[in-house]
């Protein structure tokens, strides 16, 4: 078929109709939603920059999202335990292959100690006696070469005001900050990758200032080079992170 660029033909009319009724509405909707998101982020950053409670290092949010666990489509696991903190206003549910460190015997606790000690990270290194530390460590039977531990840690700091809580977040200059909505509360999300002497940690942290307290939720997977010297497989690491995200999705404050 020879195209006639200077003539109105039946197929040019057909293309115009398809564009008008199929492509144009979708394109307009996409542009509109992206514009609204850009305006919201701009307003949020302006609010942050103008706030007297933000530290000198200005935190710029480049993405806003609602947290969705990769395990939300997985059927509920029987035997899930709900922990309600006796002092601070939060609760969390965890499956039977995780345990609250405080509920374990000293002998069992000792067996969970590792080189990076992710199951015990918290107040001892980040605030001392003014912090509340609650750790949930993986005790299940799934294992892989190079796997050391997986842990969900909650730290509530009583002595830090909003500015100090923000300064902790601003210390991570090498990565953009993502603002995430988890059960109606906004958190700043970042990475927890670290390495020392052939041992590694990967994961995420979530921080928020709520009801006068600075809360930090840490998701850790610890590994080493293993017998094969190849390290922990990405599939197993992601599987453990999925378990931790499923726990994160249950974290709630008693009042918002």
> CA–CA separation, 69 vs 252, rounded Å?
14
CB 101 within 8 A of CB 135: yes
Give the alpha-carbon dihedral of 98, 224, 242, 233, to 10 degrees: -130
Instruction: Tell me what pLDDT residue 200 has.
Output: 93
| Residue 63 pLDDT level (bands cut at 50, 70, 90) | very low
pLDDT tens by residue, 190-249: 887 888 889 999 999 898 988 888 899 999 999 999 999 999 999 999 999 999 999 999
Of 167, 164, 140, the closest CA to residue 58 belongs to: 167
Instruction: Tell me what pLDDT residue 139 has.
Output: 95
CB 47 within 8 A of CB 61: no
Instruction: Tell me what pLDDT residue 188 has.
Output: 85
| Residue 17 pLDDT level (bands cut at 50, 70, 90) | low
Instruction: Tell me what pLDDT residue 221 has.
Output: 95
Beta strand pairing call for 98-100 and 90-94: unpaired
pLDDT tens by residue, 162-172: 877 766 554 44
Examine the pLDDT at 138 and tell me if it is beyond 90.
Answer: yes
Instruction: Tell me what pLDDT residue 124 has.
Output: 44
Q: For 87, phi and psi rounded to 5 degrees?
A: -115, -40
Mean pLDDT of the chain: 75
Which SS3 state, helix, strand or coil, does residue 83 take? strand
Percent of the chain with pLDDT over 70: 60
pLDDT tens by residue, 68-109: 544 443 444 557 899 999 888 899 999 999 999 999 999 999
Instruction: Tell me what pLDDT residue 153 has.
Output: 94
5 vs 99, residue with greater confidence: 99
> CA–CA separation, 113 vs 23, rounded Å?
58
- For the whole model, what pTM was predicted? 0.68
């Amino acid at each position: 078929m020879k195209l006639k660029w200077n003539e109105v033909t039946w197929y040019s009319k057909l293309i115009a109709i398809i564009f008008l009724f199929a492509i144009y509405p979708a394109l307009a909707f996409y542009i509109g939603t992206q514009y609204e998101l850009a305006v919201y982020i701009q307003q949020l950053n302006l609010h942050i920059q103008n706030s007297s409670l933000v530290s000198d290092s200005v935190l710029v949010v480049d993405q806003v999202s609602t947290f969705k666990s990769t395990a939300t489509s997985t059927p509920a696991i029987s035997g899930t335990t709900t922990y309600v903190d006796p002092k601070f206003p939060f609760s969390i549910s965890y499956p039977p292959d995780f345990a609250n460190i405080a509920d374990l015997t000293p002998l069992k606790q000792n067996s969970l100690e590792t080189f990076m000690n992710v199951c015990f990270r918290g107040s001892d290194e980040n605030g001392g006696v003014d912090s509340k530390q609650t750790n949930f460590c993986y005790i299940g039977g799934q294992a892989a070469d190079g796997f050391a531990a997986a842990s969900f840690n909650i730290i509530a700091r009583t002595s830090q005001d909003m500015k100090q809580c923000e300064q902790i977040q601003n210390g991570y200059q090498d990565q953009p900050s993502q603002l995430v909505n988890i059960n109606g509360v906004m958190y700043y999300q970042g990475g927890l990758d670290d390495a020392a002497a052939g041992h590694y940690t990967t994961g995420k942290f979530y921080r928020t200032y709520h009801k006068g307290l600075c809360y930090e939720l840490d998701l850790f997977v610890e590994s080493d080079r293993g017998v094969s010297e190849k390290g922990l497989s990405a599939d197993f690491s992601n599987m453990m992170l999925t378990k931790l995200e499923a726990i994160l999705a249950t974290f709630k404050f008693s009042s918002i």
